[in-house]
Amino acid sequence: MTKPKAIAVVGPTSSGKTSLSIEIAKKFDGEVISADSRQVYKGLDLGTGKVTSDEMDGVPHHLLDIADPTTSYNAAEFELDASAALLDIQCRGRLPIIAGGTFFYLDMLRGRQQVASVPPDQDFRLSLMGFSTPELFEKLKEADPKRAETIDPNNRPRLVRALEIIDSLGHVPLLTSRESAYDWLIIGVNITKLRLHQNIHKRLLERFKAGMVDEVCELHKNGLSYERMHDLGLEYRYIAMYLQQELTYDEMLKKLEIKIRQYAKRQMTWLKRDEEIEWFEPTNTEAIFKRIEEFLHNENS
């Protein structure tokens, strides 16, 4: 039986995934599913680089603004919601296009990763309270060096969860793959390091100019704690530190840009392991569209 087709657009932050996914959707009658662990949250717009209504240009987008930032939306929830969106788009005869920077989410949809069936262990979590975040990262590096390479070393909740899974299973779990219900084409945005760093710098300044600090102030005013912001990614973490007078404005800007560059490097480390990704220059839409045409018309692709 021929599997339905699905496309994913991957690449580091600020590489142009969003705009490319929209171009593909417009060309091939598609709809975009966001695979981003932060853009699911309402109100986290400039800080996550969330696509605007104008940028969507009429292309339907799914899994944006579906969760309250004071709560935690997890990978298992994403897999259920994204699977439902995939089926819905497919049943309406349109092309599903996955775009976003949380590549673990995409790997789950492709059957390459699975969420560990380990329930939260409050006692174990309490036992880690006395350790600093860098110390937790060192613990993870000892227990699972490969996972440590792809995790945000400043994201305390993810570090705790990774250590919790390892503690519960007694060993580093081996990932088992399962066959996907879809036939996937994975398009990678191939961008030079210099261009990527230029994009990161430009995009960061644009978001600050557009009011990213004001966004964080408004979120805090509406009940989002600075502690919770620390878990919601680099932009919210560093702006929260600035608002608490732990950093000057210039220090915040400089440190944040460095951290985003480091994050992009970790993203590329993750992606380079995936031999199924087909890499294209982001401006070479002619080659990208030609490959998609071949993929959509080849029943054995």
Show me where the domains of the chain are located.
5-114+176-297, 122-169
Model-level pTM?
0.81
pLDDT digits 0-9 by tens, 67-108: 999 998 888 889 889 999 999 999 999 999 999 989 888 988
List, in order, residues 6 or more apart from 88 with CB less than 8 Å away.
Answer: none
> How many of the other CB atoms lie within 10 Å of CB of 161?
18
Architecture of domain 5-114+176-297: 3-Layer(aba) Sandwich (3.40)
Distance, in Å, from the CA atom of 30 to the CA atom of 95, rounded to the nearest integer, reads 4
Tell which residue, 64, 60, 63, 62, has the closest CA to residue 29.
60
Looking at residue 67, the DSSP 8-state letter turns out to be B
Distance, in Å, from the CA atom of 88 to the CA atom of 84, rounded to the nearest integer, reads 6
List, in order, residues 6 or more apart from 57 with CB less than 8 Å away.
Answer: 22, 26
DSSP string, 225-288: -HHHHHTS-HHHHHHHHHHTTSS-HHHHHHHHHHHHHHHHHHHHHHHHT-TTEEEE-TT-HHHH
**Is residue 241 within 8 Å of residue 247, measured between CB atoms?**
yes
Per-residue model confidence (pLDDT) at position 173: 58
Q: What are the residue ranges in the chain where pLDDT is below 70? A: 113-117, 170-177, 300-301
Distance, in Å, from the CA atom of 176 to the CA atom of 54, rounded to the nearest integer, reads 41
List, in order, residues 6 or more apart from 270 with CB less than 8 Å away.
Answer: 103, 150
Per-residue model confidence (pLDDT) at position 171: 56
